[in-house]
Amino acid sequence: MPHQLLNNLLNFIREHFLFDPSQKILLAVSGGVDSMVMASLFKEAGLLAGIAHCNFQLREEESVRDENFVRNLAEKLEMPFHETRFDTEAYATSNKVSIQIAARELRYQWLEEIRSTNGYAYIATAHHLQDSVETALMNFVKGTGIAGLHGILPKTDKIIRPLLFAEKDTLLAWAARRQLTFVEDSSNATDKYTRNFFRHHVIPMMQESMPAAVKNMAASIEKMKEAEILYQEALGRHKKSLLTQQGENWLIPVLKLQKSVPLQTIAWEIFREFGCTSNQLPQVLNLLESESGRYVETSTHRVIRNRAWLMITPVQADESPVVAISEEQSHVHFGGGQLQFRTIEKQHAGSIPQSADVAWLDASQVVFPLILRKWKQGDYFYPLGMRKKKKLSRFFIDQKLSIPQKEQVWVLESQKRILWIVGMRIDDRAKVLPSTSEIISIQLQK
């Protein structure tokens, strides 16, 4: 008669649509009790599976012991065996990450490689109920919001966790009943890592005052999963109502966001996707009351108050490219598009084009090579029709340019004198006059 744990496993796989019994599963087995029980259960259930083991070479003889132990298990269960060794410390150093992150990245990259090249449908890890509770509790303490409180999910992409329903004691009881031997990772006994601190101190203390603490928290986690579905649905509606995309930029109407309830949560969920931290959120919300032009810069974006809107725009890398243009060039490609140059005899020219994307300049005022560059503070020119010079920063205010638009402005200069604010206005000193004999025509294609 099948053991209750085996029935529970099969029910859990069915209820959560983890996989079809005809599919082959790659079991990640460390040699610890959880993964050993998982492999044993899959064998007894008659499910198709192979075993994969990673040696991170962090614990010398212990690592080799675990590797041999898991290889022997694979032989005993008559399952295909896949193994690898990593230089985890070298990877951590070269990628500037902790040993724990290095081990995780190496493990999952390799497991996915084995899965995809050997016909396995999914990778199974042996996370159990207490692992999920520990994760939710750690996330609660870190303040990750509702998404962190669902604990570990039964299925994410190609990774499944078929033992999430089981308590640790149940797995230990199965191992004893089946006389399964397993190895203990010595690092699990230390409090060096945060999870172990929760495992060895926080949860046992909670269980002292409430023995059913883990079960109760697991029930709360299930409720959180369902609450999160409703939360995401409502959030989706708010985002659709508030966010409008314009090319690379996003716009949010200030008044509409101010009236959104609950404001803090909606704002956090929107702006965190644009690199905003929880510490920056109050600064972003202050923009709702500020004057136009104020902004908050996150790690990836800038949130700008622009009249009745908040504009979210990517932070441009400060490339500050400079393009030198010789007299022979007829086409020039640059960050703002393409410029096309040609020389026209004045007598054959016709009337001056009205488009801002075309500049006609008096050839006698143009000395090559020309310099094409982004504008900078302190730049000035004589706007067409004016006898007085004007700073570009002032000109942009008159033109009602937003900060992202200003960042995209290029200028064309000759002998350190601006001839054209590309796509906007030429300099009065370079305009075509009745005395002009030759015209340089420049056309912008964005």
The pLDDT of residue 195: 82
pLDDT at 189 > cutoff 80: no
More confident call, 257 vs 69: 257
| pLDDT tens profile 402-423 | 888 888 899 999 988 999 999 9
pLDDT at 188 > cutoff 60: no
| pLDDT tens profile 312-329 | 988 765 555 788 888 888
Residues of the chain with CATH 3.30.465: 244-314
The pLDDT of residue 396: 94
Which CATH architecture is the domain 4-224 placed in? 3-Layer(aba) Sandwich (3.40)
The pLDDT of residue 158: 95
| pLDDT tens profile 134-172 | 999 988 888 777 878 888 999 999 999 999 999 998 999
Q: In the chain, pLDDT over 90 holds for what percent of residues?
A: 60
| pLDDT tens profile 17-72 | 999 999 999 999 998 899 999 999 999 999 999 999 998 888 778 788 888 889 99
| pLDDT tens profile 71-122 | 999 999 999 999 998 888 888 888 888 888 888 899 999 999 999 999 999 9
Q: In the chain, pLDDT over 70 holds for what percent of residues?
A: 96
pLDDT classification of 1: cutoffs 50, 70, 90: very low
The pLDDT of residue 347: 85
Mean pLDDT of the chain: 90
Residues of the chain with CATH 3.50.40.10: 322-445
pLDDT at 264 > cutoff 90: yes
Q: Please give the CATH superfamily to which domain 322-445 belongs.
A: Phenylalanyl-trna Synthetase, Chain B, domain 3 (3.50.40.10)
Out of 135-144, 245-254, 255-264, 336-345, pick the least confident.
135-144
Residues of the chain with CATH 3.40.50.620: 4-224
Please state which CATH class domain 244-314 belongs to: alpha beta
The pLDDT of residue 255: 96
Max avg pLDDT among 65-74, 98-107, 186-195, 428-437: 428-437
Q: pTM (2 decimals)?
A: 0.62
3-state secondary structure the chain: CCCHHHHHHHHHHHHCCCCCCCCCEEEECCCCHHHHHHHHHHHHCCCCEEEEEEECCCCCHHHHHHHHHHHHHHHHHCCCEEEEECCHHHHHHHHCCCHHHHHHHHHHHHHHHHHHHCCCCEEECCCCHHHHHHHHHHHHHHCCCHHHHHCCCCEECCEECCCCCCCHHHHHHHHHHCCCCCCCCHHHHCCCCHHHHHHHHHHHHHHHHCCCHHHHHHHHHHHHHHHHHHHHHHHHHHHHHHCEEECCEEEEEHHHHHCCCCHHHHHHHHHHHHCCCCCCHHHHHHHHHCCCCCEEECCCEEEEEECCEEEEEECCCCCCCEEEECCCCCEEEECCEEEEEEEEEHHHCCCCCCCCCEEEEEHHHCCCCEEEEECCCCCEECECCCCCCEEHHHHHHHCCCCHHHHHCCEEEEECCEEEEECCCEEEHHHCCCCCCCEEEEEEEEC
The pLDDT of residue 191: 52
